[in-house]
């Protein structure tokens, strides 16, 4: 059998979580929260099953949920959207990204990916038959080098992918970056943005999340993906949504309808109701900021160097003062010999770039974080 994705193995998140389980290690590798989903949200899903909301929802998602999403976007500073034409409920952000790329690019098209990049981007581009163009973010702050990006754009570049707050670095785009994006789109009429904003509500120190949906021009040229999994600590529910202008969304739905058709109906009803209350999503910044600070303080006496995290629930630690072995090897040793699982950052690069960085997920209780930090301080 000739593989369609010869360079792809099993995703690093499965590999590291499995290794953590096998070695009974504290799992700070794959990103998922340790604490429970709101009882109110669980009750809403249950009630909706009880009253019989158990059959297929409409293909683009329940109208009540799409209306609630449009209202939320407007309330948080975004443009007014046509909920019927411009929003589709998806099986997590992963399906949103996959269906969008499949629908919009093919042979001869190029897609710019800023690395380190979330690991589902490039395989989707390759499956679509298009060419990924990886460009490294700048060190040490993981900011985009806009001049370099401009040089790499050709008439074949159809999509520029961005991700803020950024997994794995925790870097965030600022107002100036939004201006650069506008300039780039104006100079390249064939170009669209695919903006991954799944961590929109996990941003720290009073920073503002700059969504491309907060600007009418950027919104008119963007596909934007979100995940209820992140915002409601329910990564296993796999629900998200994609926002795009009608003409683009028409194409995305052609793929979505044959990829999964629609998403779990009772959860959609529950989300529609839960989203009405701002406190259900605006409150998570503070909770995660405390966790970031707790973990950073707890490892501050270790030999690991902290790379500042401004958003997401990830903390990068640099181990170069401890060892110069490759990050995958170091991550493996950390699990097998010390009992803490992390993600080697080289997994987020297409050409293995090794900066001796590991990613730790701090979406955990303080006891777990303290236990892991105590181990890291002894290394
Ligand atoms: N994009 C980024 C940057 C992510 O970190 C994740 C998941 N952690 C996703 C997309 C996928 O989200 P979902 O689980 O909703 O498919
Ligand atoms: N997005 C999560 C992370 O970055 C993992 C999602 C997955 O396991 N596919 O860790």
Strand partners, 358: 317, 344
Taking the C-alpha atoms of residue 371 and residue 100, their distance in angstroms, rounded to an integer, is 41
Residue 100 Cβ inside 6 Å of ligand 2? The answer reads: no
Any atom of ligand 1 within 6 Å of the Cβ of 11? no
The domains of the chain are located at 12-30+283-378, 55-280
The pair of three-digit structure tokens given for residue 369, joined into one six-digit string? 């974080």
Task: Give the residue among 237, 224, 231, 267 at the shortest CA–CA distance from 88.
Answer: 224
Q: How many helices (H) and strands (E) does the chain have?
A: 16, 13
Ligand 1 contact, 76 CB (< 6 A): no
**Given ligand 1 and candidates 95, 203, 227, which is best to mutate, with the most ligand atoms within 8 Å of its CB?**
227
* Tokens 């991550």 belong to residue: 331
Ligand 2 centroid vs 117 CA: distance in angstroms?
12
| Position in ligand 2 atom list of the atom nearest CA 17 | 8
Query: Quick one: which H or E segment has residue 15?
Result: helix 12-22
Query: Which atom in ligand 1 lies closest to the alpha carbon of residue 166?
Result: 3
Alpha carbons 251 and 296: distance in angstroms, whole number: 44
Please work out whether the CB of residue 31 comes within 6 Å of at least one atom of ligand 2. yes
- In 3-state terms, what secondary structure has residue 295? helix
Q: Which atom of ligand 1 is nearest to the CA of 196?
A: 1
Ligand that comes closest to the CA of residue 18: 2
Assess contact for 241 and 97: CB atoms under 8 A. Answer: no
Distance 280 CA to ligand 2 centre (A): 22
Ligand 2 contacts CB of residue 13 (under 6 A): yes
H or E, element range at 282: helix 279-282
Confirm or reject: Cβ of 99 under 6 Å from ligand 1.
no
Phi, psi of 146, rounded to the nearest 5 degrees: -65, -35
- Helix (H/G/I), strand (E/B), else coil: 305: strand
DSSP letter for 155, please.
T
Q: Is the ipTM beyond the 0.85 threshold?
A: yes
Q: Would you say the CB of residue 342 lies under 6 angstroms from ligand 2?
A: no
For the chain, the 3-state helix, strand and coil shares in percent, each to the nearest 5, are 45, 15, 40
Which pLDDT tens digits describe the chain residue by residue (379 residues)?
999 999 999 999 999 999 999 999 999 999 999 999 999 999 999 999 999 999 999 999 999 999 999 999 999 999 999 999 999 999 999 999 999 999 999 999 999 999 999 999 999 999 999 999 999 999 999 999 999 999 999 999 999 999 999 999 999 999 999 999 999 999 999 999 999 999 999 999 999 999 999 999 999 999 999 999 999 999 999 999 999 999 999 999 999 999 999 999 999 999 999 999 999 999 899 999 999 999 999 999 999 999 999 999 999 999 999 999 999 999 999 999 999 999 999 999 999 889 999 999 999 999 999 999 999 999 9
Residue nearest to atom 8 of ligand 2 (CA): 13
Cβ contact 96:263 at 8 Å:
no
Q: CB of 298 within 8 A of CB of 373?
A: yes
| Two tokens, residue 321 | 């003062």
Closest atom of ligand 2 relative to the 235 alpha carbon: 6
Cβ neighbours for 30, distance < 8 A, ≥ 6 positions apart: 13, 14, 16, 17, 343, 361
Indicate whether residue 227 lines ligand 1 (CB < 6 A).
Answer: yes
Model pTM?
Answer: 0.98
Residue 378 DSSP SS3: helix
Pair type for strands 222-227 and 192-196: parallel
CATH for the 55-280 domain, from 3.40.640.10, 2.60.120.580, 3.50.50.60, 3.40.50.150? 3.40.640.10
Give the domain 12-30+283-378 fold: 3.90.1150
């Amino acid at each position: 059998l000739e593989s369609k994705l010869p360079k792809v193995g099993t995703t690093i998140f499965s590999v590291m979580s499995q290794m953590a389980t096998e070695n009974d290690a504290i799992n700070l590798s794959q990103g998922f929260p340790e604490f429970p989903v709101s009882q109110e949200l669980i009750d809403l899903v249950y009630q909706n099953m009880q009253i019989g909301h158990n059959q297929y929802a409409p293909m683009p998602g329940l109208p009540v949920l799409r209306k609630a999403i449009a209202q939320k976007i407007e309330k948080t500073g975004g443009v007014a959207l046509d909920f019927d034409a411009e929003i589709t409920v998806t099986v997590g952000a992963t399906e949103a990204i996959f269906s969008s790329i499949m629908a919009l690019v093919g042979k001869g098209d190029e897609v710019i990916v800023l690395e380190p990049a979330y690991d589902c981007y490039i395989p989707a581009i390759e499956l679509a038959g298009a060419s990924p163009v990886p460009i490294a973010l700048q060190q040490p702050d993981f900011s985009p080098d806009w001049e370099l990006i401009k040089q790499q754009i050709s008439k074949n570049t159809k999509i520029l992918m961005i991700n803020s707050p950024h997994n794995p670095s925790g870097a965030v785009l600022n107002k100036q970056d939004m201006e650069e994006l506008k300039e780039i789109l104006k100079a390249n009429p064939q170009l669209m943005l695919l903006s991954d904003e799944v961590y929109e509500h996990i941003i720290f120190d009073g920073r503002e999340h700059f969504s491309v949906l907060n600007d009418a021009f950027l919104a008119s040229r963007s596909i934007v993906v979100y995940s209820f999994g992140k915002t409601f600590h329910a990564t296993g529910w796999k629900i998200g949504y994609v926002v795009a202008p009608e003409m683009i969304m028409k194409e995305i739905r052609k793929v979505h309808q044959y990829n999964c058709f629609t998403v779990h109906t009772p959860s959609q009803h529950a989300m529609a109701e839960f989203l009405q209350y701002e406190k259900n999503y605006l409150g998570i910044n503070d909770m995660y900021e405390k966790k970031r600070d707790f973990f950073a303080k707890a490892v501050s006496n270790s030999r690991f160097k902290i790379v500042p995290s401004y958003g997401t629930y990830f903390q990068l630690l640099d181990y170069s003062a401890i060892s110069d072995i490759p990050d995958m090897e170091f991550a493996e040793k950390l699990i097998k010999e010390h009992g803490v699982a992390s993600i080697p950052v080289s997994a987020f690069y297409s050409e293995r770039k090794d900066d001796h960085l590991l990613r730790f997920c701090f979406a955990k209780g303080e006891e777990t974080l303290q236990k892991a930090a105590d181990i890291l301080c002894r290394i």
